[in-house]
Homo-oligomer: A and B are copies of this chain.
Amino acid sequence: MEASTPTAGGGRRRNPRGQGERLREEILAGAARMLDELGDDEGLSLRAVAREIGVAAPSVYLHFADRDALVYAVLERCHDDLVATVERGQTAAADPAEQLRQHTLHHVEWALRHPGLYKVLHESTLNQRIDMPFKRDLADRAVDLVQRCMDAGQAPPADPAAVALDLRAAVYGVASLRINQPRFPWPPLPDQLDRLLTKLAGIGQVIGTGVADSEA
């Protein structure tokens, strides 16, 4: 009922006093949308973002120091969303192995749902210019899950950091290849991920008997 529609009729109403931060949100959302379409941070122009949300170009400077700061903010928020999605996806899982499975699956599914953003997050040249400490979050959670699989006897004992690292490389590789070569006839995702989990972490194998049983 409150007529707070800011983008009614092509025009944009200025935010009320004290609500200047709303524009920040609009800029972030617009930039995220455009980055996801572009798949490359070099292609994103400040002016295009301003145009997209119906604001003058200099207005962006009210909230971001420069283009890099804007892209960084988008990526931080973007990574938070990825982590939240992965977390949500694994709450229903009964045991560590199933949690790791869901973690991996939801990670790649998020990537395929936001291919451009995933690319920018992991492959943009911004990575070389400045580092993004928030990225360690997801990596740390994966190490933790692998550790818990081992503790629960659902994965053979090994160095959890090394196993998680190999898993990370493979899972990222799967996501990135599918995004970058969308025309290639990739096999079903869950099967491939289960195969990788089994082979790289020993998930799904019966532990301690020497018998390797891999039934779908």
Contact = CB atoms under 8 A, between A and B. Distances in A.
A129 to B, nearest CB: 11
Contacts of A195: 162, 166
B162 A169 contact: no
Contact of A176 (B42, B176, B181, B192): B176
Interface stretch (A5-13, A25-33, A83-91, A118-126): A118-126
A210 B192 CA distance: 24
Given A43-B42, A123-B123, A180-B123, A187 B169 contact: no
27 contacts: A38-B125, A39-B125, A40-B42, A42-B43, A119-B123, A122-B176, A122-B180, A123-B180, A127-B180, A127-B181, A128-B180, A128-B182, A162-B187, A165-B187, A166-B195, A166-B196, A168-B173, A169-B192, A170-B170, A170-B196, A171-B173, A172-B176, A172-B177, A173-B176, A196-B200, A199-B199, A199-B200
Query: Which are the 10 A-B pairs with shortest beta-carbon distances?
Result: A173-B173, A169-B173, A170-B170, A42-B42, A169-B174, A172-B173, A123-B123, A199-B199, A127-B180, A40-B125
